[in-house]
Amino acid sequence: MRTIDACGISCPEPLLMLKKALQSESELMLLLDGKGALGNCEEYAKKQGFDVETTIEGDMFKLHIARAHE
């Protein structure tokens, strides 16, 4: 499973990285460290039909994103 580390990357690049990755991946791990990017990425992934499971590790958010089963 691919991991995208978007910690410290400024807006809107994390979402752009996610958008590009979701065009080819059905499951990935996204690492973020900003609440703004977190909300946007969760919302975007869900809108595209993916399940998002977020865990917090210290200052970092780990988003496990996988295509939702019908």
Partner 1 sequence: MLKKLAMPLVGVLAAIISLALVALGNPGNMGFCTACFLRDSAGAVGLHGAAAVQYLRPEVIGLVLGAFLISMARKEFAPRGGSAPITRFVLGFALMIGALIFLGCPTRMMLRIAGGDLNAIVGLFGFAAGIFGGIFFLNKGYSLKRTYEVAKTDGLLAPIVALILLALLIIVPGILNFSVQGPGSLRAPMWVALAAGLILGGAGFISRLCFIAGIRDSVLFRNFSMLGAFVAFIIVILVGNLILGSFNLGFEGQPVAHTDGLWNFMGMVLVGLCSVLLGGCPFRQVVLAGGGNSDSAITVLGMVAGAAFAHNFGMASSAEGVTNNGMVGFGVAFLVVIFIAIFNTFGKNRQRGGA
For the CA atoms of 58, 4, 29, 34, the dihedral, rounded to the nearest 10 degrees, stands at 40
In the complex, least distance from residue 33 CB atom to partner 1, rounded to whole angstroms: 8
Candidates 37-45, 50-58, 62-70: pick the segment binding partner 1 (CB under 8 A). 37-45
Least distance CB 29 / partner 1 (angstroms)? 11
Query: CB–CB of 21/9 below 8 Å?
Result: no
Contact 4, 17 (CB under 8 A): yes
Site residues, partner 1 (CB under 8 A): 2-13, 15-17, 19, 21, 34-36, 40, 43-44, 59
